[in-house]
Amino acid sequence: MKNRQLFQRDPVVSKLLNDGVAAVREAASDKEIETLRYELEHFVCEGQYEDGLIRILESYLGNINSTTQPAAWVSGFYGSGKSHLLKMFRHLWANTIFADGATARGLARLPQDVQDLLRELDTLGKRSGGLHAASGTLPSGGGESVRLAVLSIVLASKGLPESLPQAQFCMWLQKNHIFEQVKAAVEAAGREFFGELHDLYVSPILAKAVLDADPDFAADLKQARAALRAQFPVVEDISTNEFIRTVREVLLVDGQIPCTVIVLDEIQLFIGNDPGRSTDVQEVAEALCKQLDSRVLLIGAGQTALAGQDRLLQRLSGRFTIPVELSDADVETV
């Protein structure tokens, strides 16, 4: 028998579409969707992968009526597969549907215990506004607000612009029932709507579209542009109360927050050596766990376990209370 015959899939003829690296973000392009499908089909749900999924799902379902929804922390060295696990969890949670009707759970080979818990999650979702998932990697560069960074991930998961002023503008259009009218007017002028949003404060096309849809918005184009700048300003940060209010507004479905998972990769890199960022992450995590009706599950990740030597990470241990530590054995299994 040859070595290649020992594998479930022949490594000589099977190509690794993701080059062994998983990206925790919303799939958009055809290539990203193809890669996602490949990753689901090849997902090996054993060892700590299986145990982690089970413990996180059991905790969420068991705390849905509690005052706090505990957060999970996935740790492991670079290449341990933590980003892969996070990505798979996000799509298994929402049971992502592909163009041909295939589903994430249908493509993945899952242990019976995991399947049972996901079915229980489905039942809960039917009573609670459905299932939703948001995922992304926090930026490692300096100067960015953790609240705005997390909010941009939530906004993108709902098809809104990642930038807060542009997203608030779209939500205002939707609230006033003129979103489709304004979008159509911009496109009729030969512009792509979401691309034109980058020029929110100076675009005469957007200003005219808003005025045509709502003549009372401003007296003329100049005042309309000034009103847009004043009503939807650029901000460097927002308060935690404003953060939670906006997350709730974005997530609400028929007055309910759906069963939602927010996956944040590379929190450890984001914090770096900055005590202020560590404090901000604690505050945001506590708010997400306690102020959204226990409907939102937060999962974070870093290379180091929270019980390790990193003092800034140790601060998070009171917020992320479900540890999932990936080891060499899990990588070898995968």
pLDDT tens digits, residue range 241-251?
999 999 999 99
Q: What are phi and psi of 58, to 5 degrees?
A: -60, -40
Separation of alpha carbons 176 and 210, rounded Å: 11
Question: What's the token pair of residue 11?
Answer: 């490594």
**For the chain, which residues make up each domain, given as ranges?**
15-145+238-333, 164-231
Token duo for residue 37: 């499908």
Q: Would you say residue 6 has pLDDT above 60?
A: no
Residue 178, pLDDT score: 98
Per-residue pLDDT at 141 exceeds 70? no
Per-residue confidence at 191, pLDDT binned at 50, 70, 90? very high
Q: What is the 3-state secondary structure (H, E, C) of 150-211?
A: HHHHHHHHCCCCCCHHHHHHHHHHHHCCCHHHHHHHHHHCCCCHHHHHHHCCCCHHHHHHHH
Cβ-in-10-Å burial (0-12, 13-18, 19+) of 100 comes to exposed
Mean pLDDT of 195-210: 97
pLDDT of residue 192: 97
Which residue do the tokens 């998983």 mark?
22
The answer to whether residue 182 scores a pLDDT higher than 80 is: yes
Q: φ, ψ for residue 259 (rounded to 5)?
A: -65, 110
* Concatenated DSSP letters of 27-91: --SHHHHHHHHHHHHT-B--HHHHHHHHHHHHHHHHTTTSS---EEEEE--TTSSHHHHHHHHHH
Please give the backbone phi and psi of residue 154, each rounded to the nearest 5 degrees, phi first.
Answer: -65, -45
Residues 93-118, mean pLDDT to the nearest whole number: 96
**Which pLDDT score is estimated for 116?**
98
pLDDT of the residue at 14: 42
Phi, psi torsion values for 45, nearest 5 degrees: -95, 80
For domain 15-145+238-333, give its CATH number from 3.40.50.300, 3.50.50.60, 3.40.50.1820, 3.20.20.300: 3.40.50.300
Q: Is the pLDDT of residue 8 over 50?
A: no
Q: What mean pLDDT do residues 66-80 have?
A: 91
Is the pLDDT confidence value at 79 over 80?
Answer: no
212: which 2 tokens? 């045509």
Q: Is a pLDDT exceeding 70 seen at residue 330?
A: no
Spatial separation of the C-alpha atoms in residues 301 and 264, rounded to whole Å: 7
Sign, Cα dihedral of 210, 215, 221, 226: negative
Crossing angle of helices 30-41 and 82-94, rounded to 10°? 100
Q: Where is average pLDDT lowest: 27-36, 44-53, 157-166?
A: 27-36
What does the pLDDT average to over 66-83? Answer: 91
pTM of the full predicted structure?
0.88
| pLDDT value of residue 329 | 55
Torsion of CA 141, 144, 145, 150, to 10 degrees: -60
